[in-house]
Amino acid sequence: MKKQAGFTLVEIAIVMVIIGLLLGGVLKGQEIITNAKIKKLENDYQGVTAAIYSYQDRYRALPGDDSRADDRFGSVAAGDGNGKVKGNFNSTTDTEESRLFWLHLRNAGLVAGATDEPQQPPNAFNGVTGVSSENGAGLPPGALFVGFSGIPYDIARIVESQQDDGESNNGNVQASLDGTTTAATSYEDNKVYNLFLSL
């Protein structure tokens, strides 16, 4: 009778340890990438905030709402000067103040990008980063905020808990389901959100 060949218990144990190490490395790598994206979101918020204050300090006006932007920058459209940035944060209409906001900042040299391009910059989760005073979920009407679209539910929960009170419809960080403007009552698994961080 022929002796059957096979793996010993030690060989199987070594293979299992190697698989465990590989899986652990992959999971840890995903965690590092996710944390880096969250940090980028926070840095984008701080960068936009700093750019707004710099613009206001330099021109005594709010970017996007600046009624003298056409005088300052030539062919760039001006806002109405009422102290609010009109239009949805993720608007695609170039004449809305929420899009002019980016034109004004780019022409002032405060953010990167082409000086004739009003498009909102992308965020780390393939959505957009925008600014507005309208439709910020449950934020007070007229409150200026930075909005991020396309934020996965788990990321929204983390940002909310780090920046605010952990509730999606209360405080300085609010959320709505992507594609809506009504404040979400909670963060639900497998949903995508717009996050609104007040300034």
Burial 8-38 (b: 16+ CB within 10 A, else e): eeeeeeeeeeeeeeeeeeeeeeeeeebeebb
Q: Do residues 114 and 103 touch, judged by C-beta distance below 8 A?
A: no
Residues 6 or more apart whose CB falls under 8 angstroms from that of 182 comprise 137, 176
Report pTM. 0.85
Look-up of token digits 């439709």: 135
Look-up of token digits 């000067």: 81
159-188 tens-digit pLDDT: 999 889 888 888 899 999 988 888 899 999
Q: Where are the domains of the chain?
A: 9-198
Instruction: Categorize the per-residue pLDDT at 14 as very low, low, confident or very high, splitting at 50, 70 and 90.
Output: confident
C-beta neighbour count of 157 within 10 angstroms = 18
For residue 43, the cross-strand partners are none
Dist. CA 142–CA 144, nearest whole Å? 6
In CATH terms, is domain 9-198 a member of 3.30.70?
Answer: no
Instruction: Categorize the per-residue pLDDT at 33 as very low, low, confident or very high, splitting at 50, 70 and 90.
Output: confident
